[in-house]
Amino acid sequence: MSAPLPSCVTDPLGAVASAFDAAIGSGDTAPDQDGDWGIKATLQEALDRPGVMEQIPEINAVGVDNVRPGQLVRFRCMVQDMYNPEYYVGAYKDRSTGGKWRTTKFTERISGGNSVNTGESQPDDSAERVIWERRVLYCVPIPGESSWIARDDEDMVAKILAAAGERKEGPAAKVDEKVDEKAASSNPVAKHPRADHATCPPASIVPEAAESMDESLNLPLGATDVADGLPRAAPAIVKVYESEDALPVKLNDVLELVGVLQIEPDISNDVSNTNNDQQQAAMAAAAAAVNGDPATSGAIEAPAEIRTALIQHLAVPLGGDVLAAEYVLAAIVSRVHTRTDSLALGKLSVTLMGVPEGGDLPRNLAAAIADIAPCVAHLPLSIAGLNARSWTPKKDYGVNRLRSGPLQLAPGTVVVLDETALTSGQLRETGVRNVQALKQLVQLQELEYDFQYHQMRVPVDVAVVVLTSAKQGDSVVQGGECRVPLRMVKDTRVAEQLDPVMARTMRRFVARAWGSDHSISEKAGKEIESEMVAARQGERKATELEFHRWLTIARLCALSSGETDLTVKHWKHAMECERKTEERLRLM
């Protein structure tokens, strides 16, 4: 297809070994410092060549079973848990090769490679081994990732088309990765996707069943159903060799890693293990996969048409309600841009009221959103599901792991919260706590992780679309900004398959809008100010919260029109939407 791959891509461990040899020479002395030996630069340079990145298999897309251990792989994932740092024998004197120093960096075993270790090569004197430290992360495939991203990966041609020259090169870093193979292949529940979910591409979870499903895997949304022949997603243990300063990683960060896969049976559980060099996209890597850095990609043609197409697409499952679709679109492109002491500015959560009970609307809507947004989590609320388990992550000291919950999501995920399935019943303690967590999520974009002896507040950035059948009052989960009564003119339908070229444009458009910065002109600012002052004088006094909402919607109108500068036009448009909503609310 293209030029032969560089050797550091085809034989990463060999490249590491030769770099190590070159760095320490053949001397007898121990390397006293952990180093990089130039591997990072070599790999970075190789990955920068066009076409190379695309030929490295992505384990989510290809499936861990189809990759040879020791091979360089890509892994798009979210950091679910961070383990204690690990001390390992970084380099040792190999007696079998006549006292030559060898490194174990990027591999798990002393003898290196995958040959079974024998006692002879065991270095047994402290003078003959040095201990280094590495960081260990538990990474899961991005929860609720839309299937088109993985499919894009599979489809090399499409991939190259989409990504050519657009990828943002993050700082490369070394990652060693383990894949929990047992979890990946032997979970019986997961092998029989429930029939009602099989048709549903976005991540969907039935929490009462989730307990058994993802207990060992720690997937936030449980074992997701896999659409049309994609391999099952597998979590992995990632070992990072880069120092904390060079590669700061936080909980729930989305990473795109490049590393060496190694599958290794362990005593307790089957673990596959990899050595990785990595590349990181600081924002949603998923967005980067189609889009690259929004700032550098060229202008999008005919933004108005794409916006119309997006709204039409979203209106199909909403029974043709364009206004509601517009709000949903605004929610999709919303992002927290500023946090103050008690406010998360920029987020928008939309509550659609009067959704028919028991219909297909929630599922259709989630599917339609998944067509254009990178990550969608469809969470049906039910009494049993709420009572079944904690939705927020909780530390389990028994196994010393952070048990995931469905609300541990990557930044930029759209949550479709389906209240229509909710029946009357009694919430137990867990349930009450889950509802409170949802409220906190919607209101403050914060989640409280339960470490039993203390709570830790973790900022999140997810847009929430609540669907409720209630016609009046508030939804169960309070705190959302917009309440929009739904006006369906026809039945909900599954949005039709998008034309591939159009789909790609739309996804790019959405990713770009999500990631864009924004500004406002002096003039528009003044005008908006006076409008707000006027709004205070009227019959209904607007409150501060309403002002926040208006400004957010106006900003999102601008962004979803492909513009970054807020003008009076957008403000007017936002106010028009708000006026229509208010009218609907009055009539209900």
**Contacts to other proteins from residues 554-583, by CB under 8 A:** 555, 566
Q: Is 99 in the site for other proteins (CB under 8 A)?
A: no
Please give the size of the binding site for other proteins, defined by CB under 8 A: 75
- Cα separation, 385 vs 398, in Å, equals 24
Q: Which is nearer to other proteins, 151 or 548 (CB)?
A: 548
Burial 240-253 (b: 16+ CB within 10 A, else e): bbbeeeebebebbb
Residues 487-526 that bind other proteins (CB under 8 A): 518-520, 525
Contact 54, 256 (CB under 8 A): no
Q: Is 88 in the site for other proteins (CB under 8 A)?
A: yes
- Cα separation, 554 vs 549, in Å, equals 8
Work out which of 142, 162, 366, 402 binds other proteins, going by CB under 8 A.
402
Whole-number minimum distance, CB 107 to other proteins, in Å? 8
Query: Any bridge partners for residue 175, and if so which?
Result: 240, 276
- Cα separation, 501 vs 96, in Å, equals 58
By rule CB under 8 A, what string of x and - marks binding of each residue 108-127 to other proteins? xxx------xxx--x-xxxx
Sign of the dihedral defined by the CA atoms of residues 484, 489, 492, 493, in that order: negative
Whole-number minimum distance, CB 562 to other proteins, in Å? 18
Residues 130-159 that bind other proteins (CB under 8 A): 130-133
Whole-number minimum distance, CB 34 to other proteins, in Å? 9
Work out which of 113, 171, 451, 576 binds other proteins, going by CB under 8 A.
451
Q: Which residues contact 437 (CB under 8 A, 6 or more apart)?
A: 391, 392, 407, 447, 448
- 3-class secondary structure, 509: helix
Q: Is 551 in the site for other proteins (CB under 8 A)?
A: yes
Q: Which is nearer to other proteins, 88 or 509 (CB)?
A: 88
Query: Any bridge partners for residue 350, and if so which?
Result: 465, 482
CA 515 to chain centre: 14
Stretch that binds other proteins, among 16-24, 293-301, 333-341, 359-367 (CB under 8 A): 333-341
Q: Is 481 in the site for other proteins (CB under 8 A)?
A: no
Stretch that binds other proteins, among 35-43, 325-333, 336-344, 468-476 (CB under 8 A): 336-344
Amino acid symbol at 219: L
By rule CB under 8 A, what string of x and - marks binding of each residue 47-86 to other proteins? ----------------------------------xx-xxx
Q: Which is nearer to other proteins, 151 or 433 (CB)?
A: 433
Amino acid symbol at 46: A
Whole-number minimum distance, CB 335 to other proteins, in Å? 13
Q: Which is nearer to other proteins, 458 or 585 (CB)?
A: 458
Measured CA to CA in angstroms, residue 449 lies from 207, 455, 461, 481, 529 at distances of 18, 6, 15, 24, 39
By rule CB under 8 A, what string of x and - marks binding of each residue 235-274 to other proteins? ---------------xxxx-------------x-------
Amino acid symbol at 95: R
Work out which of 456, 494, 502, 588 binds other proteins, going by CB under 8 A.
456
Structure tokens at 311: 């709204």
Q: Which is nearer to other proteins, 228 or 539 (CB)?
A: 539
Token look-up 């976005």 returns 202
Whole-number minimum distance, CB 444 to other proteins, in Å? 8
Q: Is 409 in the site for other proteins (CB under 8 A)?
A: no
- Cα separation, 480 vs 463, in Å, equals 10
Burial 345-358 (b: 16+ CB within 10 A, else e): ebbbbbbbbbbeee
